[in-house]
Amino acid sequence: MTALGQWLREQDSEKRLHLLRHQPSYFADVGEVERLRAWLTDFGFLEQKLGAVGVVALLNDFDLALGLGGEEGGLGLIQGALRLSAHLLEQDQTKLAEQLLGRLLSFSQPEIVALLEQAKQWRGKPWFRPLTANLTPPGGPLICTFAGHSGGVEAVAITPDGKRAVSASYDETLKLWDLETGTELATLTGHSDDVNAVAITPDGKQAVSASDDTTLKLWDLETGTELATLKGHSDMVWAVAITPEGKRAVSISYEK
């Protein structure tokens, strides 16, 4: 356990949670960039922040530092490694050490090397410690992975502002995603068979999905609720498109 990590553990639970939630923002507000960098490159802090408030809040702390010019020393690479691992860390926070090692071992920046030396000492449970960079590193074309569907993903559409996406799956659902954090915002349920296609209105507020259950559905993307079921086809609906003014849609079906 690092000195910072041990100090945090010694605080009472209320103070510890407050520090984990708010201390990075305080450092940013008063321009304490170096102290913020020191916390963000400390494995004990990363582990406890992840466990207390989740990976999205941790990624936001890195945005604070990078916004103040804290790129030197590899902060962006550490954030990139966390973002690549976010879908796994949301499910199992004990994978932090192995994910950082597997993605960052090929980098030589002093702060990264020091962070990985701390990660190697983690003893939370029996684990396989990567000896080489055996996972996709940050800085490449892959930014993050969206995980949550239980069946094949058939289609995806992106909102006009580029901040959210909607996916359609064989698990009979659609999912709304935050493209900046890689997190799931909502699951849209209502179809009774595979969802084959999805289109988003030009204002980004609604979506229309097409399904093997012979229907289309209109969704409110602000609330994640179903607004209407469009019936008329007698066979699987394979595709849908929305007119530029966002008031009408055209669907195609196996019924010809």
Of the candidates 145, 140, 133, 200, the residue with the CA atom closest to the CA atom of residue 168? 200
The model's pTM: 0.85
Q: What is the pLDDT of residue 71?
A: 63
Quick: pLDDT tens for 113-129. Answer: 999 999 999 999 999 99
Do both 12 and 116 map to the same domain?
yes
Query: Residue 100 — very low, low, confident or very high, per pLDDT cuts 50/70/90?
Result: very high
**Residue 72 pLDDT greater than 80, yes or no:** no
Geometric angle at alpha carbon 80, from 68 and 155, rounded to 5°? 120
* Domain edge (last residue) among 97, 120, 143: 120
Residues 105 and 179 in one domain: no
In a domain, 135, yes or no: no
Q: Are 103 and 206 part of one and the same domain?
A: no
Q: What is the pLDDT of residue 183?
A: 86
Residue 138 lies in a domain: no
pLDDT at 181 over 90: no
* Domain count for the chain: 2
Report the candidate in 93, 96, 98 with the shortest Cα–Cα distance to residue 132.
98
In terms of domains, do 11 and 109 share one? yes
On the question of pLDDT at 83 being above 70, the answer is: yes
Residue 11 domain-assigned (yes or no): yes
- What pLDDT shows up at residue 148? 93
Indicate if 101 and 160 belong to the same structural domain. Answer: no
AA identity, residue 229: T
Same domain, 97 and 180: no
Token code pair at residue 21:
């939630």
Instruction: State both tokens at 125.
Output: 């449970």
Tell me, yes or no, whether 140 lies in a domain.
no
- Residue 70 pLDDT more than 80? no
Residues 97 and 186 in one domain: no
Residues 86 and 159 in one domain: no
Per-residue pLDDT at 10 exceeds 90: yes
Q: Are residues 43 and 99 in the same domain?
A: yes
pLDDT category of residue 69 using cuts at 50, 70 and 90: confident
Residue 73 confidence (pLDDT) above 80? no
Whether residue 143 is contained in a domain is answered as no
**Nearest alpha carbon to residue 178 among 143, 153, 212, 226:** 143
Q: What is the mean pLDDT of residues 30-46?
A: 95
Mean pLDDT of 218-246: 97
* 98 and 13 co-located in one domain: yes
pLDDT category at 30 given cuts 50, 70, 90 is very high
Could you give phi then psi for residue 76, rounded to 5 degrees? Answer: -65, -35
Question: At 224, which CATH number?
Answer: 2.120.10.30
Residues 193 and 247 in one domain: yes
Q: Give the domain range for residue 7.
A: 3-120
Cα 124 off chain centre by: 24
Are residue 92 and residue 157 in the same domain, yes or no?
no
- Is residue 148 in some structural domain? no
Q: Does residue 134 belong to any structural domain of this protein? A: no
Q: How confident is the model at residue 64 (pLDDT cuts 50, 70, 90)?
A: very high
Confirm whether 95 is domain-assigned.
Answer: yes
> Per DSSP, what are the bridge partners of residue 166?
157, 176
What DSSP element (H or E) covers 249?
strand 249-253
Last residue in a domain, options 96, 120, 144: 120
Chain mean pLDDT for the chain: 95
Measured distance CA(11)–CA(5) in Å, rounded: 10
Question: How far is residue 77's CA from residue 89's CA, in Å, rounded to a whole number?
Answer: 17
Last residue of one domain, picked from the residues 120, 135, 167: 120
Distance between CA atoms of 137 and 105, rounded to whole angstroms? 9
Q: Which residue has the tokens 């990363």?
A: 46
For position 180, what pLDDT does the model report?
Answer: 84
pLDDT per residue as tens digits for the range 40-58 = 999 999 999 999 999 999 9
7 contacts 15 by C-beta, under 8 angstroms: no
CA distances, 62 to each of 78, 81, 135 (Å): 9, 12, 21
Cβ burial, residue 235 (10 Å; 0-12/13-18/19+): exposed
Helix 43-53 crosses helix 110-120 at what angle (to 10 degrees)? 70
- pLDDT at residue 238 above 90? yes
The arithmetic mean of pLDDT across residues 83-94, rounded, is: 93
Sequence-separated (6 or more) residues with CB below 8 Å from residue 171 = 149, 150, 151
Mean pLDDT of 179-198: 94
Q: What is the pLDDT of residue 58?
A: 95
In terms of Cβ atoms closer than 10 Å to its own Cβ (0-12, 13-18, 19+), residue 184 is middle
Mean pLDDT, residues 230-248 taken together: 97
